[in-house]
Amino acid sequence: GAGVSQSPRYKVAKRGQDVALRCDPISGHVSLFWYQQALGQGPEFLTYFQNEAQLDKSGLPSDRFFAERPEGSVSTLKIQRTQQEDSAVYLCASSLWGRRAPPDNEQFFGPGTRLTVL
Protein backbone atom coordinates (compact mmCIF):
# COMPACT_ATOMS: atom_id res chain seq x y z
CA GLY A 1 0.00 0.00 0.00
CA ALA A 2 3.04 2.29 0.15
CA GLY A 3 3.71 4.93 -2.45
CA VAL A 4 6.57 5.11 -4.91
CA SER A 5 9.91 4.50 -3.26
CA GLN A 6 13.39 5.27 -4.54
CA SER A 7 16.84 4.28 -3.42
CA PRO A 8 19.30 5.45 -2.53
CA ARG A 9 17.93 8.80 -1.36
CA TYR A 10 21.36 10.38 -1.72
CA LYS A 11 24.30 9.37 -3.87
CA VAL A 12 27.69 10.99 -4.15
CA ALA A 13 29.84 9.84 -7.05
CA LYS A 14 33.24 10.80 -8.32
CA ARG A 15 33.31 11.99 -11.90
CA GLY A 16 33.64 9.01 -14.18
CA GLN A 17 31.93 6.52 -11.86
CA ASP A 18 28.85 4.56 -12.88
CA VAL A 19 25.71 4.84 -10.74
CA ALA A 20 22.43 2.92 -10.57
CA LEU A 21 19.26 4.42 -9.18
CA ARG A 22 16.31 2.26 -8.24
CA CYS A 23 12.58 2.91 -8.37
CA ASP A 24 9.84 0.77 -6.82
CA PRO A 25 6.52 1.93 -8.28
CA ILE A 26 3.12 1.46 -6.75
CA SER A 27 2.11 -2.17 -7.17
CA GLY A 28 0.01 -2.76 -10.27
CA HIS A 29 0.86 0.53 -11.92
CA VAL A 30 1.37 0.11 -15.64
CA SER A 31 3.30 3.28 -16.40
CA LEU A 32 6.64 4.38 -15.00
CA PHE A 33 8.41 7.67 -15.67
CA TRP A 34 11.88 9.03 -14.89
CA TYR A 35 12.51 12.76 -14.54
CA GLN A 36 15.61 14.85 -13.89
CA GLN A 37 15.22 17.92 -11.68
CA ALA A 38 18.10 20.39 -11.56
CA LEU A 39 18.39 22.72 -8.59
CA GLY A 40 15.68 25.38 -8.66
CA GLN A 41 14.08 23.95 -11.79
CA GLY A 42 11.04 21.89 -12.59
CA PRO A 43 11.40 18.20 -13.42
CA GLU A 44 12.28 17.33 -17.00
CA PHE A 45 11.15 14.12 -18.68
CA LEU A 46 13.77 11.44 -19.28
CA THR A 47 12.00 8.23 -20.23
CA TYR A 48 8.71 6.31 -20.05
CA PHE A 49 7.86 2.63 -19.61
CA GLN A 50 4.56 0.91 -20.18
CA ASN A 51 4.97 -2.37 -18.31
CA GLU A 52 8.40 -3.64 -19.43
CA ALA A 53 8.42 -1.77 -22.73
CA GLN A 54 10.37 1.46 -22.95
CA LEU A 55 8.07 3.46 -25.21
CA ASP A 56 9.77 6.84 -25.03
CA LYS A 57 13.39 7.64 -24.25
CA SER A 58 13.49 10.95 -26.03
CA GLY A 59 14.48 12.86 -22.87
CA LEU A 60 17.64 10.90 -22.07
CA PRO A 61 20.41 13.50 -22.42
CA SER A 62 23.10 11.17 -23.75
CA ASP A 63 23.92 7.55 -24.41
CA ARG A 64 25.49 7.44 -20.94
CA PHE A 65 21.94 7.23 -19.57
CA PHE A 66 20.20 3.89 -19.68
CA ALA A 67 16.96 2.72 -18.04
CA GLU A 68 15.32 -0.66 -17.74
CA ARG A 69 12.21 -2.25 -16.25
CA PRO A 70 12.71 -5.92 -17.12
CA GLU A 71 9.70 -7.41 -15.30
CA GLY A 72 7.36 -4.48 -15.58
CA SER A 73 7.68 -3.40 -11.97
CA VAL A 74 10.99 -2.19 -10.46
CA SER A 75 13.02 0.11 -12.68
CA THR A 76 16.68 1.09 -12.66
CA LEU A 77 18.19 4.22 -14.15
CA LYS A 78 21.88 3.79 -14.84
CA ILE A 79 24.29 6.60 -15.58
CA GLN A 80 27.69 5.64 -16.91
CA ARG A 81 30.85 7.74 -16.59
CA THR A 82 29.06 10.40 -14.53
CA GLN A 83 29.79 14.06 -15.22
CA GLN A 84 29.28 17.08 -12.98
CA GLU A 85 26.34 18.22 -15.09
CA ASP A 86 24.55 15.00 -14.12
CA SER A 87 24.17 16.34 -10.57
CA ALA A 88 20.43 16.63 -9.98
CA VAL A 89 17.49 15.00 -8.27
CA TYR A 90 16.18 12.03 -10.21
CA LEU A 91 12.45 11.52 -9.71
CA CYS A 92 10.48 8.42 -10.52
CA ALA A 93 6.70 8.43 -10.97
CA SER A 94 4.16 5.71 -11.66
CA SER A 95 0.57 5.74 -12.84
CA LEU A 96 -2.17 3.16 -13.03
CA TRP A 97 -2.93 3.56 -16.71
CA GLY A 98 -0.86 3.14 -19.84
CA ARG A 99 -0.72 5.35 -22.89
CA ARG A 100 -4.48 5.44 -23.46
CA ALA A 101 -5.10 6.88 -20.03
CA PRO A 102 -8.05 9.09 -19.18
CA PRO A 103 -7.13 12.79 -18.84
CA ASP A 104 -7.30 12.68 -15.05
CA ASN A 105 -4.81 9.82 -14.82
CA GLU A 106 -2.55 10.61 -11.91
CA GLN A 107 1.23 10.30 -11.74
CA PHE A 108 2.47 9.55 -8.24
CA PHE A 109 6.00 10.67 -7.52
CA GLY A 110 8.68 9.15 -5.36
CA PRO A 111 10.90 11.26 -3.05
CA GLY A 112 13.74 11.28 -5.56
CA THR A 113 17.43 10.42 -5.47
CA ARG A 114 19.76 13.37 -5.09
CA LEU A 115 22.89 12.67 -7.13
CA THR A 116 25.99 14.76 -6.56
CA VAL A 117 28.93 14.24 -8.89
CA LEU A 118 32.22 15.60 -7.58
Partner 1 sequence: KNQVEQSPQSLIILEGKNCTLQCNYTVSPFSNLRWYKQDTGRGPVSLTIMTFSENTKSNGRYTATLDADTKQSSLHITASQLSDSASYICVAVTSGTYKYIFGTGTRLKVLA
Applying CB under 8 A, which residues contact partner 1?
Answer: 4, 33, 35, 40-45, 56, 91, 93, 99, 101, 103-107, 109-112
The minimum distance between CB 94 and partner 1, in angstroms, equals 11
Q: In the complex with partner 1, which residue's Cβ is closer, 81 or 99? A: 99
Please provide residue 86's backbone torsions phi and psi, each rounded to the nearest 5 degrees.
Answer: -80, -10
- Nearest-angstrom CA–CA distance, 109 and 3: 8
Contact predicate 59/42, CB 8 Å: no
The minimum distance between CB 111 and partner 1, in angstroms, equals 5
Q: In the complex with partner 1, which residue's Cβ is closer, 45 or 66? A: 45
The minimum distance between CB 81 and partner 1, in angstroms, equals 27
Task: Go through 4-26 and write b for each residue having 16 or more CB atoms within 10 A of its CB, e for each that does not.
Answer: bebeeeebebeeeeebebebbbb
The residues, ordered by sequence, that sit 6+ positions from 64 with a Cβ below 8 Å of its Cβ are 79, 80, 81, 82, 83, 86
Q: In the complex with partner 1, which residue's Cβ is closer, 73 or 107? A: 107
The minimum distance between CB 109 and partner 1, in angstroms, equals 3
Q: In the complex with partner 1, which residue's Cβ is closer, 59 or 72? A: 59
